[in-house]
Chain A
């Protein structure tokens, strides 16, 4: 198994919980999983080995009604 992980920061450098992290299996063109960031912006997901996934992020600040455009990370390879 391989674990992919990261930390999401907003444009001002702060971290936040509740950012939706979607992991797409780009070989099968399926949604592999979704998870959300912890309060320190971290997230992780354990997947199979030798897989190429695409990770992208969605975040709505419900206190201000702001929707963020999220960077994405395609071509994330998990190795055995």
Chain B
């Protein structure tokens, strides 16, 4: 025999760290309630119920610790010093800037204009098998584009994605090179690749998004890895002569919110 809690009781969610009200809701069937609260805070849930005849005393539930979102390996460059190199990466000519950020207030600007095959920023020594990876980017009129790729323990690419100002390119296994978009305008808009990696089947799904909403999302699924692997050893952003991009890949773009295993 169970106990059914009251329907229609008011629930107040309070941020105990800031002493501010997050929101209110009411209980539904069996007294159940849910509420989405921000990550990484302490919450007190407080209850009130007036059934028309009685106003009830209640027991609060303080110290509901909402854990921070798990470290997902993204770098938004927020902990770096503006004007310095991105601290989590090896770089050849990149610096953290406080302009044109898509996540937080800082981003990484790449000034590197190297020969093909050189990295602008990279992070080595990883041993991760992330389910999701992402990179946000914004090109300029001086940008030729970039390639973002993850390498396996043998130094071979698992996949490559890139932009050639504006050609959007996805490189997968079995010779799969696909031009998936040529957005307009060519540059000065934040765009993003979001990938889901299926390590069991050595394949990935990729969605390209224009964060301004000027272009529809484009998704490709079950693209095979270029080289099979079970983990990432290196995250690499630099210049490569990707197909369909007129061989223009070179620097001068902003990067933000990028998975680098950090």
Which residues from chain A sit less than 8 Å from chain B, CB to CB?
A: 20, 22, 24, 26, 29-31, 34, 54, 56-58, 60, 67-75
Closest partner residue, chain B, to A74 (CB atom):
B48
CA distance in complex: A1, B147 (Å): 67
Contact at B50–A70, with CB atoms within 8 Å? no
With A54-B12, A56-B44, A75-B55 known as contacts, the answer to whether A30 contacts B62 (CB < 8 A) is no
Which residues from chain B sit less than 8 Å from chain A, CB to CB?
A: 10, 12, 14, 16, 19-21, 24, 44, 46-50, 55-63
Q: Which one of B24, B50, B60 lies within 8 Å of A69 (CB-CB)?
A: B60
Q: Which one of A20, A67, A72, A75 lies within 8 Å of B46 (CB-CB)?
A: A72
Contact at A58–B12, with CB atoms within 8 Å? no
Q: A56-B46, A58-B63 are in contact. List 5 more A-B contacts (CB 8 A).
A: A26-B48, A31-B14, A57-B60, A71-B58, A74-B46
Q: Chain A binding site: helix, strand, loop or mixed by DSSP?
A: strand
Which 4 pairs, one residue from A and one from B, show the smallest C-beta to C-beta distance? Answer: A58-B62, A74-B48, A72-B60, A56-B60
Closest partner residue, chain B, to A25 (CB atom):
B21
Closest partner residue, chain A, to B50 (CB atom):
A75
Contact at B62–A67, with CB atoms within 8 Å? yes
Residues on B with C-beta less than 8 A from A60 are 63
Closest partner residue, chain A, to B42 (CB atom):
A58
Contact at B60–A71, with CB atoms within 8 Å? yes
Contact at A54–B48, with CB atoms within 8 Å? yes
Residues on A with C-beta less than 8 A from B20 are 31
Contact at B57–A71, with CB atoms within 8 Å? yes
- Residue among A30, A68, A74 facing the most chain B CB atoms (10 A cut-off): A74
Contact at B57–A70, with CB atoms within 8 Å? no
Least distance between B171 CB and chain A CB atoms (Å): 52
Residues on B with C-beta less than 8 A from A30 are 21
With A22-B14, A56-B62, A58-B62 known as contacts, the answer to whether A75 contacts B21 (CB < 8 A) is no
Q: Which one of A29, A58, A69, A72 lies within 8 Å of B47 (CB-CB)?
A: A72
